[in-house]
Amino acid sequence: KNQVEQSPQSLIILEGKNCTLQCNYTVSPFSNLRWYKQDTGRGPVSLTIMTFSENTKSNGRYTATLDADTKQSSLHITASQLSDSASYICVVSPNFGNEKLTFGTGTRLTIIP
């Protein structure tokens, strides 16, 4: 069964600190891995998309890494801001389409001043 597991479930850090969120997957075959940010009560917004040939991809203060051999990904947030408080969802696709995506349950990140 295809699965995406994220850790930790929730995380609280001080404003200005860095943090790293983890994603492990068992989806096979593998085409690409995505990280989304979802504010409470809103739709997810894409942060990064990586194929199996990409090891790292950045979007501002967000940097995602991918190890396709160990089937692990991480999302690193640098110099956190209050607006980073949200759920971060890892999504894995077995093909180029979007009809067979496997979504993780997300990590709830809270930034405190």
Partner 1 sequence: DGGITQSPKYLFRKEGQNVTLSCEQNLNHDAMYWYRQDPGQGLRLIYYSQIVNDFQKGDIAEGYSVSREKKESFPLTVTSAQKNPTAFYLCASSIFGVRASGNNEQFFGPGTRLTVL
Interacting residues toward partner 1 by CB under 8 A = 4, 32, 34, 36, 41-46, 49, 51, 89, 96-99, 101-106
Q: How far is the CB of 103 from partner 1 (least distance, A)?
A: 3
Based on CB atoms, which residue is closest to partner 1, 46 or 81?
A: 46
Measured distance CA(76)–CA(53) in Å, rounded: 19
Q: How far is the CB of 93 from partner 1 (least distance, A)?
A: 8
Based on CB atoms, which residue is closest to partner 1, 77 or 89?
A: 89
E strands along the chain, which residues? 4-7, 10-14, 19-25, 32-38, 45-51, 56-59, 62-67, 72-77, 86-93, 102-103, 107-112
How, if at all, do strands 4-7 and 102-103 pair?
A: unpaired
Q: How far is the CB of 6 from partner 1 (least distance, A)?
A: 9
The answer to whether the CB of 35 falls within 8 A of the CB of 89 is: yes
Based on CB atoms, which residue is closest to partner 1, 14 or 45?
A: 45
Based on CB atoms, which residue is closest to partner 1, 51 or 85?
A: 51
